[in-house]
A and B are shown apart, each in its own frame.
Chain A
Amino acid sequence: MNVLEVKEIKKSFGSKKVLDGVSFSVPDNCIFGFIGRNGAGKTTTMRAILGLLKTDGGEINVCGERARYGCTPKSGCIGYLPDVPEFYGYMNAHEYLKLCGEISGMGSSELKTRISELLELVGLDKEKHRIKGYSRGMKQRLGIAQAMINRPKLLICDEPTSALDPVGRKDILDIISAAKEQTSVVFSTHILSDVERICSCVAFLEGGKTAFSGSLEEIRAVRGNTALELTIVEPNDIERISSAFPDGRVNDGKFILPQASEKDCADLMAFLSAQMIPIARLERREADLEDLFMEVIGK
């Protein structure tokens, strides 16, 4: 079953078309990477899902319920971590989570155990200071805790790692991975290594449309052929290789044979050995998300 279904949503700000038919769906217990450039419309899509933004068309279903502008989908269904989470600086983490839990309608005994559980999960259990003294990373972690307080079926994180240092990023990714046990996660980002690390499904957003949507395996299947990257010792030899393999291209002094099959690889090696061309390095490169991303955005 899909916890979230987005069908053909459209949104313009004045004459600027931001979303022009975005569609994707998120299955249960999956970490879904929502990838796009800055300004591609990731935040706009997420706000539309949350009912914080009025769309010009299309349909959004959250946990089987239609999302509408101004009405938050039924309580307990969605947890949201904004890109720059803002809290009440005069409260401490415990007090803030208590406020969130009470608004979600949780009972006080349940809330007490849930708060200590979450504070431990995000590593803020020993933090007694007020939120105004928190670093960006601590705020992100508190943001995840507040989003998960009422055990939502869907956790939406808007660029949770974009502004963090490597340690903070790893922490957040670990927390999100751990959250997968309890909930589905939609995770928007433009950092592709994060997506490869934790996501099982992805969607690319480009030009206001979903340019690609599917599981990571599907992407790998599409881009099944690997590229060969050859570095040679004598730059002059490169022309001989190019004429023998017209599909290849020269990039930065390296010869690259895209979408090379096993046979192409053997042929290239046979050619090199027959022509006695000395090489520095021959590498098979797995197609990664970056290739696909570049292809999607047309660069």
Chain B
Amino acid sequence: MKGFKVLLKKEICEIIRNKRLMILMAIFVLVGIMNPTIAKLTPKLYELMSEDFAEQGITVSAVKVTAMDSWSQFVKNVPTVLIVLLIMFSGIYTTEYSKGTLIPLLTKGLSRSSVVLSKLAVMLLVWSIGICLCFEITYFYSDFYWDNSVVSKLFFAAFCWWLFGVFMISCIVFFSSFAGSGIQVMLGTGAVYFSMTLIGMYNKAKEYLPVRITDSVSLYKGEYEPKDYFGAVIVTAMLSFVFVLVSLPITHKRQI
């Protein structure tokens, strides 16, 4: 436990000093501002382009923007930020293993579990703070310009996105326990995502797949209720837990 605390402090110092935290937070804030801004500018853009449309024979009637448009942007942009975060953290374990920076610490009695868990903790921390910031900024502006009440289950949808991020982070932890480089970790994590999408296309298991919880628009529109997502939420949480749990003994056996 002591090793975990010391290492967590080191990990936080690392992301601050190598500017990773600053870049990620800037992206989260930027996206948070962008969501309502794009929604707000949509009518203006249509207006600017209406002449072109008119030449092509398309008439553009006045577009009415609501908070729903702002939140649709949120759902479109959060995956991009998540991908950036995953890419930035894909090498968090493997670079330490390959460079040998952990060896002096391990020979001083640091447990490998502390290494796995402290890095997981810092990734979860960044993701949680980031998505909260992004959500709050979008929430504030959407409410300021329009009215958030037209969009239902906002908080539950945000929770689902957070959980999905946790799942993807646990994939990084799992693949890092045996992969040799950050690229391999990234490929593994990507493969998990694509196989889930493929299974979801042809199979009735779709309701229980982690990708299911990223369908926020249906929630916003009230087409689905949170109870329709519970199966997928439980599966996602369980899978994340299992991935982290399995990575501990594998890392323990790993040659460093």
CA distance A150 to B107 in the complex (A): 11
CA distance A145 to B49 in the complex (A): 68
Please determine whether A100 and B255 come into contact, CB atoms closer than 8 angstroms. Answer: no
Identity of the chain A residue whose Cβ is nearest the Cβ of B109 in the assembled complex = A75
Shortest Cβ distance from residue A78 to the other chain B in the assembled complex, whole angstroms: 6
Please determine whether B100 and A100 come into contact, CB atoms closer than 8 angstroms. Answer: no
CA distance A91 to B21 in the complex (A): 17
Across the A-B interface, the 7 shortest Cβ-Cβ residue pairs: A75-B109, A90-B17, A80-B107, A102-B6, A104-B108, A86-B101, A86-B99
* A50 interface residue per 8 A CB criterion: yes
* Chain B window 1-23, contacts with chain A (Cβ cutoff 8 Å), 1 for yes, 0 for no: 01100110010011001100000
**A52-B256, A79-B107, A100-B105 are contacts. A90–B18 as well, Cβ < 8 Å?**
yes
Q: Is the interface of A mostly helix, strand, loop or mixed?
A: loop
Identity of the chain B residue whose Cβ is nearest the Cβ of A106 in the assembled complex = B108
* B252 interface residue per 8 A CB criterion: yes
* B103: chain A residues within 8 A (beta carbon): 52, 80, 82, 86
CA distance A78 to B104 in the complex (A): 10
What are 27 A-B residue pairs whose CB atoms fall within 8 Å in the complex? Answer: A52-B256, A53-B255, A54-B255, A72-B108, A75-B108, A78-B107, A80-B103, A80-B104, A82-B103, A85-B104, A86-B99, A86-B100, A86-B101, A86-B103, A87-B101, A88-B10, A88-B101, A90-B17, A100-B104, A100-B105, A102-B2, A103-B2, A103-B7, A105-B2, A105-B109, A143-B104, A147-B104
CA distance A70 to B252 in the complex (A): 6
* B106: chain A residues within 8 A (beta carbon): 52, 72
* A79: chain B residues within 8 A (beta carbon): 107
Identity of the chain B residue whose Cβ is nearest the Cβ of A87 in the assembled complex = B101
Identity of the chain B residue whose Cβ is nearest the Cβ of A85 in the assembled complex = B104
CA distance A52 to B108 in the complex (A): 12
Which chain A residues (53-110) contact chain B, with CB distance < 8 Å?
53-54, 70, 72, 74-76, 78-80, 82, 84-88, 90-91, 95, 99-100, 102-105
Please determine whether B108 and A100 come into contact, CB atoms closer than 8 angstroms. Answer: yes
Please determine whether A103 and B14 come into contact, CB atoms closer than 8 angstroms. Answer: no
CA distance A146 to B104 in the complex (A): 8
Please determine whether B104 and A72 come into contact, CB atoms closer than 8 angstroms. Answer: no
* B99: chain A residues within 8 A (beta carbon): 86
* B204 interface residue per 8 A CB criterion: no
* B253 interface residue per 8 A CB criterion: yes
Please determine whether A74 and B13 come into contact, CB atoms closer than 8 angstroms. Answer: no
* A88: chain B residues within 8 A (beta carbon): 10, 14, 101
Shortest Cβ distance from residue B96 to the other chain A in the assembled complex, whole angstroms: 9
* Chain A window 106-150, contacts with chain B (Cβ cutoff 8 Å), 1 for yes, 0 for no: 000000000000000000000000000000000000010011011
Identity of the chain A residue whose Cβ is nearest the Cβ of B100 in the assembled complex = A86
* B110 interface residue per 8 A CB criterion: yes
Shortest Cβ distance from residue B167 to the other chain A in the assembled complex, whole angstroms: 28
Please determine whether A82 and B110 come into contact, CB atoms closer than 8 angstroms. Answer: no
Shortest Cβ distance from residue B88 to the other chain A in the assembled complex, whole angstroms: 16
Identity of the chain A residue whose Cβ is nearest the Cβ of B103 in the assembled complex = A82
Identity of the chain A residue whose Cβ is nearest the Cβ of B255 in the assembled complex = A53
Chain B interface bracket (under 10, 10 to 19, 20 to 34, 35 or more): 20 to 34
CA distance A149 to B107 in the complex (A): 12
Identity of the chain B residue whose Cβ is nearest the Cβ of A78 in the assembled complex = B107
* A147: chain B residues within 8 A (beta carbon): 104
* Chain A window 145-185, contacts with chain B (Cβ cutoff 8 Å), 1 for yes, 0 for no: 01101100000000000000000000000000000000000
Please determine whether B101 and A103 come into contact, CB atoms closer than 8 angstroms. Answer: no
CA distance A110 to B206 in the complex (A): 58
Identity of the chain A residue whose Cβ is nearest the Cβ of B106 in the assembled complex = A72
* A76: chain B residues within 8 A (beta carbon): 109
Which chain B residues (1-59) contact chain A, with CB distance < 8 Å?
2-3, 6-7, 10, 13-14, 17-18
Please determine whether A103 and B13 come into contact, CB atoms closer than 8 angstroms. Answer: no
Identity of the chain A residue whose Cβ is nearest the Cβ of B251 in the assembled complex = A70
CA distance A75 to B109 in the complex (A): 5
Identity of the chain A residue whose Cβ is nearest the Cβ of B254 in the assembled complex = A70
CA distance A87 to B100 in the complex (A): 8
Please determine whether A103 and B110 come into contact, CB atoms closer than 8 angstroms. Answer: yes
Identity of the chain A residue whose Cβ is nearest the Cβ of B107 in the assembled complex = A80
CA distance A86 to B103 in the complex (A): 9
Shortest Cβ distance from residue B9 to the other chain A in the assembled complex, whole angstroms: 8
Identity of the chain B residue whose Cβ is nearest the Cβ of A88 in the assembled complex = B101
CA distance A103 to B10 in the complex (A): 11
Shortest Cβ distance from residue A262 to the other chain B in the assembled complex, whole angstroms: 51
Shortest Cβ distance from residue B107 to the other chain A in the assembled complex, whole angstroms: 4
CA distance A87 to B96 in the complex (A): 10
* A85: chain B residues within 8 A (beta carbon): 104
CA distance A70 to B251 in the complex (A): 10
Shortest Cβ distance from residue B54 to the other chain A in the assembled complex, whole angstroms: 57
Q: For A90, give its contact among B14, B109, B112, B256 (CB under 8 Å).
A: B14
Q: For B109, give its contact among A74, A82, A87, A95 (CB under 8 Å).
A: A74
Shortest Cβ distance from residue A85 to the other chain B in the assembled complex, whole angstroms: 7
* B109: chain A residues within 8 A (beta carbon): 72, 74-76, 103-105
